[in-house]
DNA sequence: TATATTAATGACCAGGGAGTCAGCAAGCGG
DNA sequence: CCGCTTGCTGACTCCCTGGTCATTAATATA
């Protein structure tokens, strides 16, 4: 994963992967048919455990929708943009279009589930009278877009302008809540 | 640009670029010292004219801050995610870390200027009593993050879930305005 | 200890691509 | 018409890397 993250798929040498793993190139070809196979396996093995941990982390709590957004969701949003997971985002963006089945897998196992989870929370907020109906109901992506943005920014522009990702996320959540909360 | 956009830097053959340009590989090496040189020139030549056009487009009008966001800014935000410019974003994300001087140039000529422009508009809104002070003043990135998000989404996940980018942008702007506008 | 089976190595090969360069073509000046 | 300059070509070289496979090491079995 480190190797692919640093150099991208095409520029990464299989031998380099082998070296970092402390094995010979030949061994990799005993376990993976091709370089592409290896790549896909690397991605999947990177994602799966983290995904499980995340689902566990967020869990099914009895929080209100706002508490959920200010709590577990904000925690997640603060953590991810500086975690190793951000390189995954860059890889998926860069290499995705060339590996459609990998994207399909990622879609099914990560993105669509995440989206569904967010929809559920928002729906709960609306039904419970906490939130107005608003654009985020139709476009839950609006809740996550700063997360992706921060992941990208920290990898591309950090040297030129270090982004306070925690502040960004807090600002984002408060901005959104301020817009959708039913005021009493 | 097409070639690099399709395959990424490493997987693009210089000969392929030459073929699409209708010249020989040798000629490219008369004008560009190396493949990397060629790549940087391609990016710069792609960005520059569009940037000029954009600046012209937005211009200095006498719109209120809200009118500006609902007008020229929203137009821009709707147009970009499905324009050829989106492949540029993918390329910068994918290849940026390997070409620091290209990122530096892009930062100076595009990103920092864009950010400054947004700050100016928000500042005007606040000073004119249209807007509250809010998180977007500290993090103007929050205004653009859905644009980047949409550019990425349309290139990676369109096959699985076609995103209504226009709707997303309209929703975003109304959400933000709803949050920061001073109500009368 | 001897033998069979499984795990792992790394030298090797074939294909491909970045970069070079001798030479061809086309305009230009006399 | 002829030399001269400039623009351009594509065959060639050399290196690199994905993938193979004969060989060796380690482990299990008898």
Task: State the nearest Cα–Cα gap between B41 and chain A, in angstroms.
Answer: 19
Q: Which B residues, 165 through 184, put their C-beta within 8 Å of a C-beta on chain A?
A: 167-168, 170-172, 174-176, 178-180
User: Counting one residue from A and one from B, how many pairs have CB atoms under 8 Å apart?
Assistant: 153
Pull the structure tokens for residue B57: 């487009």
Share of chain B above pLDDT 90, in %: 88
- Does A1-34 carry CATH code 1.20.1440.230? no
Give the ipTM of the model, two decimals please.
0.90
User: A62-99 b/e with 16+ CB inside 10 Å = b?
Assistant: ebebbebbbebbbebbbbbbeeebbbbbbbbbbbbbeb
Contact B142, A175 (CB under 8 A): yes
A134 touching chain B per CB within 8 A: yes
Number of H helices and number of E strands within chain B? Answer: 12, 0
Q: Please, are residues B181 and B131 in contact by the beta-carbon 8 Å criterion?
A: yes
Q: pLDDT tens, B93-116? A: 999 999 999 999 999 999 999 999
B95 contact residues in A (CB cutoff 8 A) = 8, 94
Helix (H, G, I), strand (E, B) or coil at B131: strand
Average pLDDT, chain B: 93
In angstroms and rounded to an integer, the radius of gyration of the C-alpha atoms of chain A is 19
Residue environment code for B160-176, b if the CB has 16+ CB neighbours within 10 A, otherwise e: eeebebeebbbbbbbbb
Which residues are in reach of strand C, CB within 7 A? A 23-27, 29-30; B 12-15, 25-26, 29, 34-36
| Tens-digit pLDDT string for chain A (184 aa) | 999 999 999 999 999 999 999 999 999 999 999 999 999 999 999 998 888 888 887 777 789 999 999 999 999 999 999 999 999 999 999 999 999 999 999 999 999 999 999 999 999 999 999 999 999 999 999 999 999 999 999 999 999 999 999 999 999 999 999 999 998 6
How far apart (Å, rounded) are the C-alpha atoms in residues B143 and B123? 14
Tokens 């970092």 belong to which residue? A20
For chain B, the structural domain boundaries read 1-34, 47-180
B120-136 average pLDDT score: 95
**CATH topology for the B47-180 domain:** Tetracycline Repressor; domain 2 (1.10.357)
CB A4 within 8 A of CB A35: no
The pTM assigned to this predicted structure is: 0.92
The whole-number pLDDT of residue B183 equals 83
Which pLDDT score, from 0 to 100, does residue B37 have? Answer: 95
Please report the pLDDT score of residue A61 as a whole number: 76
Share of chain B above pLDDT 70, in %: 99
């Amino acid at each position: 994963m480190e190797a692919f993250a640093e150099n991208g798929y095409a520029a990464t040498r299989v031998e380099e992967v082998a070296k970092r793993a402390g094995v010979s190139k030949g061994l990799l070809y005993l376990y993976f048919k091709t370089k592409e196979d290896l790549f896909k396996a690397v991605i999947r093995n990177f994602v799966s455990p983290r995904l499980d941990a995340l689902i566990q982390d967020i869990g099914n709590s009895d929080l209100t929708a706002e508490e959920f957004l200010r709590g577990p969701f904000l925690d997640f949003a603060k953590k991810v943009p500086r975690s190793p997971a951000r390189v995954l985002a860059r890889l998926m963006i860069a290499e995705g279009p060339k590996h459609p089945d990998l994207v399909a897998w990622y879609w099914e196992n990560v993105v669509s589930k995440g989206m569904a989870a967010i929809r559920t929370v928002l729906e709960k907020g609306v039904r419970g009278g906490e939130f107005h109906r608003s654009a985020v109901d139709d476009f839950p992506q609006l809740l996550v877009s700063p997360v992706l943005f921060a992941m990208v920014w920290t990898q591309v522009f950090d040297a030129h302008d270090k982004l306070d990702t925690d502040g960004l996320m807090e600002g984002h959540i408060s901005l959104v809540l301020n817009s959708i909360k039913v005021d009493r």
